DNA sequence: TATTATATTGACACAGTGTTGTTTTTGCAA
DNA sequence: TTGCAAAAACAACACTGTGTCAATATAATA
């Protein structure tokens, strides 16, 4: 009981540190960010940092984990509540989230982010959608796995490209494009 | 004249430093590699390092540039000399090179490498092949650009996956798979 | 052999790291 | 309100790595 209440301060500190890192990552890669400047930016004592995280990468990792679990929750919420079963709509919601909602998400998805996180996020999206990509289209299991890897990486690259170039396309267009490249066998099926 | 001959020592030093970095990158990410250990590993004085490169990333970049120009030369050689116009055969040769030839290339393409280098390499391959991916297949220029981005990233991801998992597939199989995902509209066209 | 470019060496001040012990602040409960 | 823990702030520590410099040594070659 005590522990839960006492968390408040801790949680505030962690939040400030997370925001500070994300803010700095907008301007430079994490490799160039020192713990010292991270703490000065957050107005947190450097010693305090060490009582929560062991280094920059540990902190980044905790942000990633948090974001992944948020994404997982968002997707299952979409699937349950709104009875949206179509992959395209889920993709669309994800794109809207990336574009509008989360400061963190934009940085994490950008070139400055961790490519592994991005792959994990998209693997999660596709898997959470319960879709075996192009199932039956290919001869064997190996081919399906290869196609999954190919499509996840292609999708992530497209998002990065989108974010990097100022997001001139709408979320709808992006969802449409990714859907076509990934799921649709016939072009012009949607729209 | 003088300059050319005097290069010898310099070039040796640079080569040793490059090999040293690649060797260390097999065991840890470049972010964890200090200039100090890099020089100790190469048996080169730390001060000497600074007279050639400004830091680890500068050194890595020079390796990447060298590799890219090697790749460019290899491809144009293949295109010119042997009159191989078929994309698939060029892809196959590339995969053989990756698998057999270059120690450096394996590290650069691995997860420990620089993702940007990997994208540059594949963009180069596709462009050098003179292939406008799926030209005319899609409605507009935007769509073609998106498809290019998607396919380059998908290919790079697949290679990484291949290298990471011990290259169980043959170079032929990999060329086949990438060809199908990228160029072929009908599955089972080749083989 | 003398010249010249380069590498080596050791020293320097300086940044950032990770830890420890002490003091201050905070939230909550008696 | 006061007192009690828990957490944060603070200051000091030794340590590692950084970047630069000036003096010296070592090769190749003219």
Q: How many domains are there within chain A?
A: 2
Task: Answer whether residue B58 is part of any domain.
Answer: no
Please count the CA atoms within 13 angstroms of the CA of A31 that sit on its side-chain side: 12
Identify whether the C-beta of residue A119 lies closer than 8 Å to the C-beta of residue B157: yes
Instruction: Return the pLDDT at A1.
Output: 32
Query: Does residue B74 lie in a domain region?
Result: yes
3-state SS string for B123-153 = HHHHHHCCCCCCCCCCCCHHHHHHHHHHHHH
- Give, as ranges, the nucleotides of chain C with any atom within 7 Å of a protein CB: 4-11, 15-21, 26-29
Candidates A70, A162, A155; CA nearest to A111 is: A162
A181 contacts chain B (CB < 8 A): yes
Of A31, A149, A188, the CB nearest to B157: A149
pLDDT of residue B35: 92
Measured distance CA(B64)–CA(B147) in Å, rounded: 26
Exposure letters A116-151 (e unless 16+ CB within 10 A, then b) = ebbbbbbbbbbebbeeebbeeebeeeebbebbbbbb
B189 CB within 8 Å of a chain A CB = no
- CB of A138 within 8 Å of a chain B CB? The answer is yes
In terms of phi and psi (left: phi > 0; alpha: psi -120 to 50; beta: otherwise), the region of B131 is beta
Q: Which residues contact A8 (CB under 8 A, 6 or more apart)?
A: none
Do B46 and B69 lie in a common domain? no
* pLDDT for the residue A113: 81
Nearest residue of chain A to residue B29 (CA atoms): A31
B40 at A interface, C-beta within 8 A: no
Q: Are A35 and A120 contained in the same domain?
A: no
Is residue B132, in this structure, part of any structural domain at all?
A: yes
Backbone Cα Rg of chain A: 19
Q: Are residues B43 and B115 in the same domain?
A: no
CB of B96 less than 8 A from some CB of A: no
The residue among A185 and B21 whose pLDDT is bigger is B21
Look up residue B177 and give its two tokens: 């798979």
Q: How confident is the model at residue B86 (pLDDT cuts 50, 70, 90)?
A: low
Per-residue pLDDT reduced to its tens digit, A115-156: 788 888 878 877 776 555 544 455 566 777 888 889 888 988
Shared domain for B46 and B129, answered yes or no, is no
Both B97 and B191 in one domain: the answer is yes
Can you give the CATH number for the domain in which B1 is found? 1.10.10.60
Q: How far lies A132's CA from each of A74, A141, A148, A179, in Å? A: 20, 11, 8, 14
Question: With an 8 Å Cβ cutoff, are B161 and A152 in contact?
Answer: no
Q: Mind listing the pLDDT tens digit for each residue in A11-68? A: 888 888 998 999 999 888 888 899 999 998 998 888 899 989 989 988 999 899 888 8
Asked whether A152 and A119 are in contact (CB, 8 A), the reply is: yes
- Residues A153, A124, single domain; the answer is yes
Of A115, A158, A188, the CB nearest to B149: A158
Structural domain boundaries, residue A165: 62-191
In this structure, is residue B111 part of a structural domain?
Answer: yes
Contact check, Cβ <8 Å, B157/A158: no
Count CA atoms within 13 Å of residue B139 on its CB side.
Answer: 7
Q: What is the pLDDT of residue B191?
A: 31
In a domain? residue B47: yes
Average pLDDT over residues A58-82: 80
> So what's the pLDDT on residue A3?
38
In this structure, are A132 and A175 located in the same domain? yes
Q: Which two tokens stand for residue B77?
A: 């050689």
Q: Spell out the alpha helix ranges (H) of chain B.
A: 2-25, 35-42, 46-50, 56-81, 87-96, 103-109, 115-128, 141-164, 171-182
Mark whether B12 and B90 lie in a shared domain. no
Mark residues 42-71 of chain B whose C-beta is closer than 7 A to nucleic acid strand C.
44-48, 51-52
User: Cα dist. A175→A189, B30, B35, B110 in Å?
Assistant: 13, 35, 44, 30
Report the residue of A146, A152, A163, A182 to disrupt the B interface, i.e. the one with the largest count of B CBs within 10 Å. A146
D8 C1' closest Cα residue:
A48
What is the rounded average pLDDT of the residues B129-150?
Answer: 67
The answer, for B73 touching chain A at a CB cutoff of 8 Å, is no
State chain A's mean pLDDT as an integer. 78
Q: Are residues A8 and A88 in the same domain?
A: no
The chain A residue lying nearest B162, using CA atoms, is A146
Query: In 3-state terms, what secondary structure has residue B65?
Result: helix
User: Within this chain, do residues A98 and A24 fall inside the same structural domain, yes or no?
Assistant: no
Q: How confident is the model at residue B7 (pLDDT cuts 50, 70, 90)?
A: low
Q: Is B31 on the interface with A (CB under 8 A)?
A: yes
Distance CA B84, CA B164 (A): 30
Q: Give the C-alpha separation, B153 to B151, whole Å.
A: 5
Q: Which residue of A has its CA nearest to B143?
A: A177
Dist CA A8 CA A120 (whole Å)? 30
Instruction: State which of B31, B53, B75 marks the end of a domain.
Output: B53
User: Residue A1 in 3-state DSSP?
Assistant: coil
**Sign of the CA dihedral running B172, B135, B75, A148:** negative
Angle between helices A115-128 and A141-164 (to 10 degrees): 120
Q: How far is CA A151 from CA A17, A81, A180, B73, B150, in A?
A: 34, 27, 11, 30, 8
- Determine the distance in angstroms separating the CA of A72 from the nearest CA of chain B, rounded to an integer: 23
User: Are residue B127 and residue B171 in the same domain, yes or no?
Assistant: yes
Same domain, B47 and B141: no
Instruction: Determine the distance in angstroms separating the CA of B3 from the nearest CA of chain A, rounded to an integer.
Output: 36
CA distance A109 to chain B (A): 14
């Amino acid at each position: 009981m005590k522990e839960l209440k006492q968390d408040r301060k801790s949680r505030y500190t962690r939040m400030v540190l997370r925001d500070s890192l994300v803010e700095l990552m907008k301007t430079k890669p994490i490799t160039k960010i020192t713990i010292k400047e991270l703490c000065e930016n957050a107005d947190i004592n450097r010693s305090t940092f060490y009582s929560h995280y062991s280094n920059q990468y540990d902190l980044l990792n905790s942000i990633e984990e948090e974001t992944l679990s948020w994404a997982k929750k968002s997707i299952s919420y979409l699937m349950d509540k709104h009875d949206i079963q179509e992959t395209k709509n889920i993709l669309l919601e994800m794109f809207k989230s990336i574009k509008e909602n989360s400061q963190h998400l934009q940085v994490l998805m950008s070139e400055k982010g961790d490519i592994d996180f991005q792959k994990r996020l998209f693997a999660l999206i596709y898997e959470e959608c319960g879709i075996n990509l192009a199932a039956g289209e290919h001869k064997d299991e190996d081919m399906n796995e290869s196609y999954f890897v190919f499509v996840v990486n292609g999708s992530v690259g497209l998002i990065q490209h989108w974010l990097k170039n100022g997001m001139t396309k709408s979320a709808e267009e992006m969802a449409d494009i990714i859907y076509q490249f990934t799921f649709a066998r016939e072009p012009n099926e949607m729209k």
